[in-house]
Structure formats: C-alpha cells, structure tokens
C-alpha cells in the first residue's frame, strides 16, 4: 500500500524539520539547518530497513520505494530553485561562483567516467 510510503515520508520529514530546527538553535541560527537533508537520509535508511519481524508485502514495499524515489528529486529541484533565486538577487559574485561550480562538474565527468568499467557503459558496437 502506498499509505506506508506516505507515512514513512511524513515521519522522516517531521523528524528532519525538528532535528534541523534543534541544530539551528544549537548553532545560534534562527533557521532550519539541514532538516531536509536529515529527512532524506532518514528516508533512505528507513526505506531499506527490513527485519525478520517486519517484512512488508510487495505492494507495501513498492509504495515505500515509490515515495522514497520521488521525494529526493522534488527536494533537490526545490533547493535548486531557491539557490538560483538567491544567486540572482545576491549579485554577480554568486552567479559567477555558481557558473564556475557547474563548469567544474561538467569538466570532471570524463575524469570520473574513466573509473567505470567498460561493460557498465551504454555504448553499443554497431560495426
């Protein structure tokens, strides 16, 4: 059932918000510090956690996996939108720093691709 996935997602989100707010208070910042990241880590850990006493049915397991898979891209997209808005309103230095970071990531793709074994690539031999 999808309801277990929604329940797990809600628990992880609320735990992340509470822990992020607590971390913000400890650091003396009036903001949530890392709450969404904490929630994502909890969701990843708890969605893969199975014991002998709790084995979800295949339908329940698929609901948990669905919400685990959908939550992370949504949060990343929301954070990216906020970062772009903050960068555009902060001036040229933030825009240049962001552009350089993206360029560095693109430049590292060929370097990281060397570590992938040849059989794991999607290249085909048409010859």
| Each residue's pLDDT tens digit, 61-89 | 777 777 777 777 777 776 666 666 666 77
Which position has the token pair 């609901």?
A: 63
Helices (H) and strands (E) in the chain — how many of each? 4, 0
Question: What residues in the chain have per-residue pLDDT under 50?
Answer: 127
Q: What is the pLDDT of residue 81?
A: 66
* Angstrom distance (rounded) from CA 50 to CA 63: 15
| SS3 call for 20 | helix
* Greatest pairwise CA separation for the chain in angstroms: 63
Range list of H helices, 49-91: 58-90
């Amino acid at each position: 059932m999808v309801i277990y996935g929604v329940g797990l997602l809600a628990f992880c989100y609320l735990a992340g918000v509470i822990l992020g707010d607590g971390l913000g208070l400890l650091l003396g910042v009036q903001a949530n510090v890392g709450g969404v990241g904490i929630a994502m880590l909890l969701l990843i850990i708890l969605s893969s956690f199975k014991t002998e006493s709790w084995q979800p049915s295949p339908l329940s397991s698929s609901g948990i996996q669905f919400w685990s898979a959908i939550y992370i891209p949504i949060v990343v997209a929301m954070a990216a939108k906020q970062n772009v808005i903050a960068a555009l309103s902060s001036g040229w230095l933030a825009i240049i720093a962001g552009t350089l970071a993206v360029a560095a990531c693109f430049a590292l793709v060929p370097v990281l691709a060397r570590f992938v074994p040849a059989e794991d690539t999607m290249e085909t031999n048409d010859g």
